[in-house]
Amino acid sequence: MNFVSILMGSKSDYEIINEASKVLSSFGVKYELIITSAHRSPARTKNYISDAEKRGAKVFIAAAGMAAHLAGAVAACTTKPVIGVPMPGSNLASMDSLYSTVQMPKGVPVATVAIGKAGAINAAYLAIQILALNDDILAKSLKDDRKKQEENLISDSKTVEVLL
């Protein structure tokens, strides 16, 4: 069974990263979600990634805050796509989580999205786009979703438009 694996560095990341779960569910994409840490539970992290790959994980989403480097640790253990979601809320205006996610050495990429809730949502959409490369039904669902977003925007605009 193909699925997306969502990993978070601590329970405090759940409220934000759960937004990714909601998007995946809305498209009917199966996912797993666990708490694991590149620093506090490195063996658990490595073992989970290996096991998840064997069971059908096609994309990994990793969320962590501060200078935690969960996405990088995941990318070091797999050649599957890894999407990093920097978490907000550190003393460094979240720049530490952004930099630790986006600054990867050559040959070990992590696709990095925005900090926080928007990033979690976009991580799910990016995972769906990756899966849709080999799934025409999912690809159509993405196109339909984009059309719905456009229709909603136009509808919202009509409630406030002032045109000459």
Percent of the chain whose pLDDT exceeds 70? 99
| Phi, psi angles (nearest 5°) of residue 84 | -95, 135
Q: Are 16 and 63 in contact (CB under 8 A)?
A: yes
Q: What is the pLDDT of residue 89?
A: 82
Residue-wise pLDDT for 17-55, tens only, equals 999 999 999 999 999 999 999 999 999 999 999 999 999
Range list of H helices, 2-116: 14-26, 42-55, 70-77, 95-102
Q: Is 96 annotated as a binding residue?
A: no
d(CA 164, CA 36): 56
Percent of the chain whose pLDDT exceeds 90? 90
Q: Is 44 annotated as a binding residue?
A: no
Q: Is 13 annotated as a binding residue?
A: yes
Domains of the chain: 3-137 (3.40.50.1970)
d(CA 136, CA 33): 25
d(CA 82, CA 57): 11
Q: What is the pLDDT of residue 43?
A: 97
Q: What is the pLDDT of residue 92?
A: 85
| Total length of the chain | 164
Query: Does residue 117 have a pLDDT over 90?
Result: yes
Residue-wise pLDDT for 65-81, tens only, equals 887 789 999 999 999 99
Q: What is the pLDDT of residue 93?
A: 85
Query: Does residue 86 have a pLDDT over 80?
Result: yes
